[in-house]
Amino acid sequence: MRLTLTEFVTLDGVYQGPGGPAEDTTGGFAHGGWVVPFFEPTLGDFINGVFGEVDAFLLGRRTYDIFAEAWPRSTDPHDPVANALNTLPKHVASRTLTSADWHNSTILGGDVVAEVAKLKEQPGRELQIHGSGALAQTLFDAGLIDVVRLIVFPVVLGSGMRLFAQGRTPSTFRLADVRSTPTGVTIQTLESAGAPAYGSMEVE
């Protein structure tokens, strides 16, 4: 399986608490729910398409707790997101979680990089990360993420957890697809392309 990351981010790179005011207030974050004014059918269709490619999920502890609280309540058989999340395998990266009761969930303990590398060797289409920024950063630095779907919202928050914060491994990507929505959201699909190349721009 290829490992993909789908992440909602602001223009200043914040990924924290996109879905609601109380979703993630870590560090006193007071801007939760920043995606809501921009969400519309075009973006919803894209997200549905992403979930149509998944064979298993990989989630960090915080995202798992948020999802496990919300998604089992959705029982619409025609909802591709709810159906995938409630039925497919979910692997939770956590050293502190002692049980994962949401259907078809398992806990990855120990060396998460080694465990995820093993998961990628299994047959299938996509092993998907959604949210889970801290986990994504670890796997990004380990070179395990194959595709990044970066969904950029036209808002600057000035505080909050950032996806590509200082200290990330220098990397380049190939733009495989880009589109926009009527509310100004840009959707970039980026494939890993190795280390950066450098040059010099000289004025003649």
Is 204 a residue whose pLDDT tops 90? no
Under 8 Å between Cβ of 58 and 127: yes
Under 8 Å between Cβ of 163 and 137: yes
Give the model confidence (pLDDT) of 162-186 as tens digits. Answer: 999 889 999 999 999 999 999 999 9
99 vs 7: which has the higher pLDDT: 7
Residues whose CB is less than 8 angstroms from the CB of residue 7 and which lie 6 or more positions away in sequence, other chains included = 15, 130, 131, 133, 136, 148, 149, 150, 151, 163
Give the model confidence (pLDDT) of 74-131 as tens digits. Answer: 988 889 999 999 999 999 999 888 889 999 999 998 899 999 999 999 999 999 999 9
Is 57 a residue whose pLDDT tops 90? yes
Strand-pairing partners, residue 147, are: 4, 191
Per-residue pLDDT, 98: 86
Is 48 a residue whose pLDDT tops 90? yes
Per-residue pLDDT, 165: 87
Give the model confidence (pLDDT) of 137-151 as tens digits. Answer: 999 999 999 999 999
Per-residue pLDDT, 99: 87
Q: How far apart are CA 149 and CA 190, in angstroms?
A: 6
Mean pLDDT, the chain, rounded, equals 95
HSE-CB at 66 with a 13 A cutoff on CA atoms is: 18
